[in-house]
């Protein structure tokens, strides 16, 4: 079965980017000139997703507006013959059906994913986290996972090694190599301390899950940080189904951290033909003075 549905949880407060996120959703902060969530949506489109559910909360209306048709703006750009700007304003909204659901209380990532139960409608689906932007110009990260799902018919998590010093920031896997980049999971711990971490292989914001995850989420109690954790529901899922992990190929930016956000901004600007040369000169001058 092909994966055509994806869920992007976007209900969090974004406290790490205050004061910017007081009135602007963190998902709308731009990397160069594109809101971060649009990079995720473009990855979904490039991976064959046709229906997307964005889980929002109070104060996130800018996300809803961003994926809506901006009729007045488009009319002005069309009248003035500004085709390139028109293309940018239209963005991806013509290429994918974007739906929204509100998470009324912020009870954690697991609780947000549970809001997608009726959207999934008993089908397997993808979860994409907005804090993880992954660049792979040949095969998008999510596409790599959906291909594995099609072969295995089982849930697959996108993972990479993060080094032991970073294990306390992620869902960390206990797993054994099946073949090549594929691992079979034995367990998973949310944000363990170094001494409790089973490995340094971390779930990095891309999941393909079978609908059985919803029963598991309904039974999941509050875990790390007092939140209902997707990680804990995945551990429950492993009791009844095999769950795999795939060490995806691509450069991943943790744009939920300021360092990661800055790194993405610099790298993405350097990839842009219209900005590269002048920006590279600026960087060289700046670096020479460090
Ligand atoms: C979430 C998940 C965690 C995962 C991480 C990836 O944590 O709970 O398992 O490793 O995303 O970015 P958060 O960063 O939302 O605290």
For 214-248, write each residue's pLDDT tens digit. 999 999 999 998 999 999 999 999 999 999 999 99
Nearest-angstrom CA–CA distance, 68 and 157:
30
Residue 95: pLDDT band with limits 50, 70, 90? confident
pLDDT digits 0-9 by tens, 10-22:
988 888 999 999 9
Which residue among 40, 134, 174, 203 has the greatest number of ligand 1 atoms within 8 angstroms of its CB, and so is best to mutate? 203
Is residue 207 lining ligand 1, measured as CB closer than 6 Å? no
Domains of the chain in sequence order: 5-256 (3.90.550.10), 257-290 (no CATH)
Residue 197: pLDDT band with limits 50, 70, 90? very high
pLDDT of amino acid 37: 95
- Round the average pLDDT of the chain to a whole number and report it: 94
Is residue 231 lining ligand 1, measured as CB closer than 6 Å? yes
Q: How far is the CA of 109 from the centre of ligand 1 (A)?
A: 8
Give the mean model confidence (pLDDT) for residues 270-288. Answer: 96
Judge whether 4 and 50 are in contact, CB under 8 Å. yes
Is residue 41 lining ligand 1, measured as CB closer than 6 Å? no
Nearest-angstrom CA–CA distance, 93 and 135:
21
Please check the confidence at residue 93 and state whether its pLDDT lies above 80: no
Is residue 157 lining ligand 1, measured as CB closer than 6 Å? no
pLDDT of amino acid 211: 98
% pLDDT > 90, the chain = 83
Nearest-angstrom CA–CA distance, 50 and 3:
9
Q: How far is the CA of 10 from the centre of ligand 1 (A)?
A: 13
Q: How far is the CA of 131 from the centre of ligand 1 (A)?
A: 8
Q: How far is the CA of 203 from the centre of ligand 1 (A)?
A: 7
pTM of the model: 0.95
Compute φ and ψ for 103, nearest 5 degrees. -90, 115
Judge whether 228 and 110 are in contact, CB under 8 Å. yes
């Amino acid at each position: 079965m092909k994966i055509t549905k994806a869920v992007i949880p976007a209900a969090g407060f974004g406290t790490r980017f205050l004061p910017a996120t007081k009135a602007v959703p963190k998902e709308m902060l731009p990397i160069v000139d594109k809101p971060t969530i649009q990079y995720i949506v473009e990855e979904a489109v490039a991976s064959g997703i046709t229906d997307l559910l964005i889980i929002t909360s109070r104060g996130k209306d800018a996300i809803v507006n961003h994926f809506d048709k901006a009729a007045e703006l488009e009319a002005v750009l069309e009248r003035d013959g500004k085709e390139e700007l028109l293309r940018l304003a239209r963005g991806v909204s013509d290429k994918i059906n974007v739906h929204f659901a509100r998470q009324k209380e912020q009870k954690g990532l697991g609780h947000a994913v549970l809001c997608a139960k009726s959207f999934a409608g008993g089908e397997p689906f993808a979860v994409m986290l907005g804090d993880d932007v992954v660049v792979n110009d040949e095969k998008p990260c999510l596409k790599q996972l959906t291909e594995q799902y099609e072969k295995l018919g089982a849930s697959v998590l996108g993972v990479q090694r993060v080094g032991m010093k970073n294990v306390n920031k992620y869902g960390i896997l206990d797993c054994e190599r099946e073949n090549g980049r594929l691992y079979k999971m034995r367990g998973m711990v949310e944000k363990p301390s170094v001494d409790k971490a089973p490995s340094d292989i971390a779930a990095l914001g891309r999941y393909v899950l079978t609908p059985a995850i919803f029963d598991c989420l309904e039974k999941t109690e509050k875990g790390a940080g007092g939140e209902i954790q997707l990680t804990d529901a995945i551990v429950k899922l492993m009791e009844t189904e095999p769950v795999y992990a795939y060490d995806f190929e691509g450069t991943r930016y943790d744009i939920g951290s300021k360092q990661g956000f800055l790194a993405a901004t610099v790298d993405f600007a350097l990839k842009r033909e219209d900005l590269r040369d002048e920006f590279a000169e600026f960087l060289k001058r700046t670096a020479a003075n460090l």
